[in-house]
Amino acid sequence: MTDKLFDDFVKDKLGQHNSGAPMHVWERIREKEKDNKKGFFFFKRFWLTGIVLLTLSGMVYLSWDSVIKHSNQEKLLTTTTEQNNTNNSNQTSTIAQTENDQNKAGLSATNNNTVLEKQDNENTLLTQGPVQQTEAGKNEPVGINNTSHSDVAAPLKIKKQSNALIKENNAEINSQQKIQADKTGNLIHSPVQSSEQTAAKEFVLSFTNMAAYRNSLKDFRIGNVPQRTVGPSCPTVNGPRRNDLYIEVYGSPDYTMRSFSNSANLNNYIAQRRTSEDNRNGFSAGVRIAKNIGEKTLLKAGVNYSQINERLKIVNENEKQITQIITIRTVIRTPGDTLFIRDTTYFEQTGTRYRTTYNRYRFIDIPVIFSYEFGNPEILAFSVNAGPVFNVVSFYRGEVLDTTFNPVKISTAKGSGPNNWRSNIGISVFASFAVYKRVNERLQIFAEPYFRYNFKPVTQSTNFVNQRYTTTGMQLGIRYNLFNEKQRYR
């Protein structure tokens, strides 16, 4: 009852007590607000600048890309047109030269001469056949094969093929013309329009159309279709072979599960450990190299750093502290006669002691992981990964409770106490499932939930209490293709 009265008295007195508003604190708040506003403004401006820059660069990129595409298309069209003309002239000249050579070598018995004649319609005509010496001393064709090349837009290879066909056809036609010339005497201009010639012409045109079609395909691919939609590469006799070398950089928030096992009957001790220590989670980060060893399999190896955080809280309600107070008094009785009086008293205090220690358990490992990839690497790929993780070194900082519930520092020295931990936890097993999203030609981002099981506890084998950690986490990172060769053919 008296306690209640006392409590009410204190509450009434202090509950609504006003100590007076300290206006200098208000001034401080105002100044801080101004600073914050400035900071916020700067921050905002910084972000605004960033956004503007990004937008501008995006716009420049897009416009530049479209300009390049447009110019490519124009160039393609120009080159196609030019190619038509130049190819015709080149073609005819090539043919002329070839046939001249043939004539020189005496390979052709019937075609003694080859003459190029340019007509008024600017189409190049290939004229072959026996020629007569005119009065002006010029070589004039006896048989004319009117093959128009104005609409030819074929690559050189195809044109050569068509030229070969033209030659074959011309040879036949010329032989007919020769016969005709033999019959009629001096035949100067005798165009031949046989069915064979027309068929040959159509055949050549079909080739030239194919070339045009191929060019248009090329144009279509460059201009309109994204690169990633290009179909799969053709397999060779040996099959397609990847030659990828990736570097993967990642970080992961981790969640660790702790388990205890003990050889002695120390259930109370373990219960105390569980209540006094709580998991503050951890993280891991690393870098690894991934090399494909098959079409869909990869081998990964790298360095991984992981950290487990824990908090140890100890509340000791009846803590006693003894304070020694030494008082020295100086008494000057006469000059030169000084007396020092030293009093020593001990003061014992009892109270509650709160103690919090943040423990850090760190591990450096080398993971060796086998990975099997599936899905579409151009859009979204997946992989299943598993392998051993070799611990290089483990080091710790912090405190744990000993069996008398007093905090003791963790050490890697050999011993049987709960604070004697391993400096190397040996081999662990790693398993994960990853999802890869392509960002550009070389870069991918990935998310990889994983699970790691440690075979060995962190405590030394001689300990009566074994403490083991199992870790799960979500690795988030980027993967960069160093070679960027989609396929290599053997």
Minimum CB distance to another protein smaller for 86 or for 321: 321
Residue 5 found at the interface with another protein (CB under 8 A): yes
Which x/- pattern over 355-374 shows residues binding another protein (rule: CB under 8 A)?
xx------------------
Among 224, 345, 350, 440, binds another protein (CB under 8 A): 350
**For residues 244 and 483, what is the distance between their CA atoms, to the nearest angstrom?**
6
Minimum CB distance to another protein smaller for 30 or for 397: 30
Q: Provide, rounded to whole angstroms, the least separation between the CB of residue 275 and another protein.
A: 9
Minimum CB distance to another protein smaller for 22 or for 231: 22
**For residues 264 and 241, what is the distance between their CA atoms, to the nearest angstrom?**
58
Name the nearest CA neighbour of 133 among 143, 146, 124, 142.
142
Could you give the C-alpha distances from 171 to 127, 131, 174, 176, 205, in angstroms and in order?
11, 14, 5, 9, 19
Number of residues counted as binding another protein (CB under 8 A): 42
Segment interacting with another protein (CB under 8 A) among 1-9, 138-146, 148-156, 289-297: 1-9
Residue 11 found at the interface with another protein (CB under 8 A): yes
Residue 325 found at the interface with another protein (CB under 8 A): no
By CB under 8 A, what part of segment 285-314 binds another protein?
313
**For residues 397 and 228, what is the distance between their CA atoms, to the nearest angstrom?**
50
Among 112, 150, 321, 406, binds another protein (CB under 8 A): 321
Among 33, 65, 168, 182, binds another protein (CB under 8 A): 33
Residue 354 found at the interface with another protein (CB under 8 A): yes
Could you give the C-alpha distances from 12 to 5, 17, 20, 74, 358, in angstroms and in order?
10, 8, 17, 89, 41
* Paired residues of 394 in beta bridges: 363
Segment interacting with another protein (CB under 8 A) among 84-92, 214-222, 354-362, 412-420: 354-362
- Token representation of residue 202: 């159509």
Could you give the C-alpha distances from 374 to 75, 198, 388, in angstroms and in order?
40, 54, 22
Is residue 332 classed as helix, strand or coil in its secondary structure?
Answer: strand
Asked if residues 245 and 452 have their Cβ atoms less than 8 Å apart, the reply is no
Residue 22 found at the interface with another protein (CB under 8 A): yes
Q: Which of the 8 DSSP states describes residue 442? A: S
Minimum CB distance to another protein smaller for 238 or for 356: 356
Residue 15 found at the interface with another protein (CB under 8 A): yes
Residue 184 found at the interface with another protein (CB under 8 A): no
- Give 285-321 as a 3 state SS string: EEEEEEEECCCCEEEEEEEEEEEEEEEEEEEEEEEEE
Asked if residues 420 and 463 have their Cβ atoms less than 8 Å apart, the reply is yes
Residue 346 found at the interface with another protein (CB under 8 A): no
Residues that bind another protein (CB under 8 A): 1-3, 5-7, 9-11, 13-26, 28-30, 32-33, 313, 315, 317, 319, 321, 348-356
